Chains A and B, each alone.
Chain A
Amino acid sequence: MSKFQQKLRHQKGVRAILITVLNIALPLLYFALVWTYGKSFFRDLPWAKRTRSTFLFVVLAIHFIFLLARTVSFGHPPVTSIPEILSMLAFSVSVTYSVIERRSKAKETGYFILNIAFFFQLFSSIFIRDVSAVPEIMKSVWFGLHVSDALLGYASITISAAYGLLYLMLYHEIKAHRFGVIYKKLPNLETLERMNFIAINLAFIFLSVAIIAGVAWLPMAFPGHSYADPKLIGTASIWLMYGVGIISRMRGLLRGRSLMVLSICAFGVAAFSMTLINLFFSDFHRFN
């Protein structure tokens, strides 16, 4: 074996160890992250407040390294199986939350959002398998771009619904003149509404990229396939729904409680339609 081949083998071995170690470490890191945000939310501990955002950044960096290592090691983006997609979803949720936290400067809701990421990553780490042999179509950059953005889009939709729910909880507390933990600890109503709207905007942007990438790639991947596929129509409908929501909000037609209820309903419609379509309709999206 030449020196170059030995070096490659060594690097492959190192990457394999790295992937295994990070696969075990990530759910633990997410748990510690949620615990830190929880300490800052429920106990107002100064050290937790000081370190939570930096800790989030560190976990995101480590998660990115994990995803990159898997991509390089197995020759395809890590979106070819449910456990891989769950890890990507965990990453997407955390990245989206990080953007919202920076934009809104409100850090109190991390505990609720990052719990979602933790559970996604936990299930991923338990069930993930290292698979190199996948259909050629899954090794395409377009495929990676399309699926990554779709996942970021759906993660943002999920987060917007989560903020909608938090808004409604606080709204009902204030309406009912109740002043418990929700009233004391959550950001104010306008901030929650703004965070919801940021998430909706991110969802729209990511879905736009996913749709464009998918539409551009479709003739290359599936020559002769129709644009009238149920999954395409379903995704386009969801995209349109959120686009109309954004315009309505910007024009002042939808505000406050109504907007939150609609964002939760829209999430429900998106989740239901995608499940239905994936189970019963779309053929060309079945890669395995």
Chain B
Amino acid sequence: MLEEAFFSEAEVRAVLPELKSLGISQGVLVSSFDRTELYAYSDQVDLLCDSLVYFLRKKKSIETKVPATNFFSMYGTHVAEHLFNVATGLDSMIVGDNHVLAQIRAGFELARQAGVAGPVMKKLFDTALRGSERACDTTAISEGAISVSNAAVELAQHIFDDLKRKTTLVIGTGETVQLMAQYLKERGIGVLYATHSTAEKAETLANTLGGVAIPFEVFRDELPNIDIVLSSLQAAPFILSKQDIKNAERIRTRGTLLLIDLGMPHNIDPFATELEQVFLYDLDTLATLVGENISRRRAELPRVQAIIAEELARLERSGKPWNLLKQSRT
């Protein structure tokens, strides 16, 4: 249903000029795959939100698919409070996830270009973005990986200094492992190798990731030159034993080896963790890291809420119409 109500950039551009015909003097439409929100200011006291909901549903032709009861309305400074919660990530599924910030900025920019973002909207959105920046700078509300894929990258950054000098080996074509490799690439990982028991799959994987395919039979020979191994194969027994890694350690001069094992059953011998320069993580331990990060974010809630309260108070002190809106409708 959220996807049904999503407005693309072109659709937002088309809709904005029509807002004035609805009695809205200033408005911003923020739309992403997990939320669509219309922020509106009107001089008409009797403007009803129901008419705005009907307008949006009609534009997307979802009158029969998405009932009006799926939409909710807010008035007055509750609108500002809601926008601040969204901008700081407090309204996200995972607390602190503020990916919607880009959509907020984009939504306001489109409204400004369309000439419908007046001084009231500017004040509102500037304050929200400032609050978001303050929350990011002074709290840990958005810190720490909140997905297993990102957690692996975060772990690598706590072990290694310069990822550009590191080499990664991807074993298998699992979705999560590919995502991890993708995130490592975005962080500038040096060389990336890919391997699979099926040569064609290894080639496809290497091409997808922009790496080099190596034959499955010889990937163990490359271990002395590898820093990070991401493994996700449906295989039994272990494809990497403790002895394999020990043999590699004898001639290895590269320091620490990070092994991420997402295979079911395990691809890597758990006893490998006994080796001094080896760190071994699996899905459970990465999930523990994610859980800790989420707990840490939740612990920051009071500080972020205090920032939001300060920004709200500042908004209400800024003069009309915010000082009139605490108890009234927009």
Contacts and interface: CB of A to CB of B under 8 A. Distances in A.
Interface residues of B, number: 26
Interface in B140-162: 140, 144, 155, 157-162
Instruction: Tell me the dominant secondary structure on chain A's binding face.
Output: helix
B138 interface: yes
Given A46-B137, A46-B138, A255 B277 contact: yes
Nearest to B274: A175
B255 A175 contact: no
A256 B292 contact: no
A258 B255 CA distance: 11
B314 to A, nearest CB: 19
A28 B161 CA distance: 35
A175 B255 CA distance: 15
Interface stretch (A135-143, A187-195, A209-217, A222-230): A187-195
A177 B276 CA distance: 15
Interface string A28-39: 000000000000
Contacts, number: 53
A44 B140 contact: yes
Interface string A172-213: 001101010001100011110110000000000000000000
A45 interface: yes
Given A190-B255, A256-B277, A174 B158 contact: yes
B159 A189 contact: yes
Q: On chain A, which size bracket covers the interface?
A: 20 to 34
B279 interface: yes
Most buried by A among B139, B140, B158, B293: B158
B182 interface: no
Given A44-B140, A179-B292, A256 B276 contact: yes
A183 B279 CA distance: 14
A167 to B, nearest CB: 11
Interface of A: 44-46, 170, 174-175, 177, 179, 183-184, 188-191, 193-194, 252, 255-258
- The 6 closest A-B CB pairs, nearest first, are A252-B253, A190-B161, A179-B292, A177-B285, A191-B161, A255-B255
